[in-house]
Amino acid sequence: MSVSSPTLATLPPAGAVVAITGAAQGIGLGLARHFAQAGARVVLSDVNAEACTAARDALRAEGHEVEAAAADVTDAAACERMVDTAVRAFGRLDVMVCNAGVAQVKPFMELQGADWDLHFAVNVKGAFLSLQAAARRMKEQTPLAEGRPRGKVITMASIAARYGAGVMAPYQGPYRASKAAVVSLTQTAAYTLSPDITVNALCPGIVATDMWTRMDRDLAHLNNGREGDVFASRVANVPMGRAQTPQDVAGLALFLASPASDYMTGQSINIDGGLVLS
């Protein structure tokens, strides 16, 4: 039995076209599934072409309209081709979700330039290039409906962009800095592209995905601890009492893609179970 998506009257209209980068696993795949369940037509993009195709086939098997467009978001031409895939398949692109990202665990004093280059290439440059490619197409198309924007962009930041202290800070310098840059990029794009296109950022917290599993494992090895302990200790601090799931993130993403958020742009919204209160 599939998990039910939020059933708000403000969900994106059936048939809305949504492209999602980093969509072959984790949060990206969770967002793709929930947009599809809400009736959207979805274009999955991921640097892993095989996984992208497998995700497409799985969603099609569930009865959804889905296309795949493998792309390296650090390549501007690849981002343009991804957008072209959406337009060829479905006629337009209504929502671009810039989700692709990387994270690593490495002590601050052991970081090298290549670590910074990787994070900023994928998390920041990749978000910019996919956002820009989508915006070019959106500005040429008719609005979603009379009085509505021509398109919407959702970027993926993190609560890691909110503060520099805490137990993870010594191990995630480039990740934290890159996600803070995504917040800034979101604000710049929102101001630049308004009123035609809205741009808002999601800031998730401790999401139970493969990415967190890898970080937990690497931290355990660095500190001679047990795998699972770091993740458990972080979850223990969540006021809502559990780890986050992609479905938790999807509810906010669906809202940002809906008419209910048409007057919202340039915002970075925490969806973290109360870890960061503001």
Positions annotated as catalytic residues are 175, 179
Residue 152, classed as helix, strand or coil, is: strand
| CB distance 23 to 44 below 8 Å | yes
> What is the number of residues in the chain?
278
Q: Give ∠ CA 125-112-170 in degrees, rounded to 5.
A: 90
Q: Which are the contacts of 179, defined by CB distance < 8 A and separation ≥ 6?
A: 123, 157, 158, 160, 161
Residue 177 CA to residue 120 CA, distance in Å, equals 9
Q: Which are the contacts of 98, defined by CB distance < 8 A and separation ≥ 6?
A: 21, 73, 126, 127, 130, 131, 153, 154, 155, 156
β-strands 151-156, 66-68: how paired?
unpaired
- At how many degrees (to 10) do helices 26-37 and 49-61 cross? 30
| CB distance 195 to 148 below 8 Å | no
Residue 274, classed as helix, strand or coil, is: coil
Residue 177, classed as helix, strand or coil, is: helix
- CA dihedral angle for residue 81, residue 86, residue 92, residue 96, rounded to 10 degrees: -80
Residue 43, classed as helix, strand or coil, is: strand
Token pair, residue 71, equals 């792309």
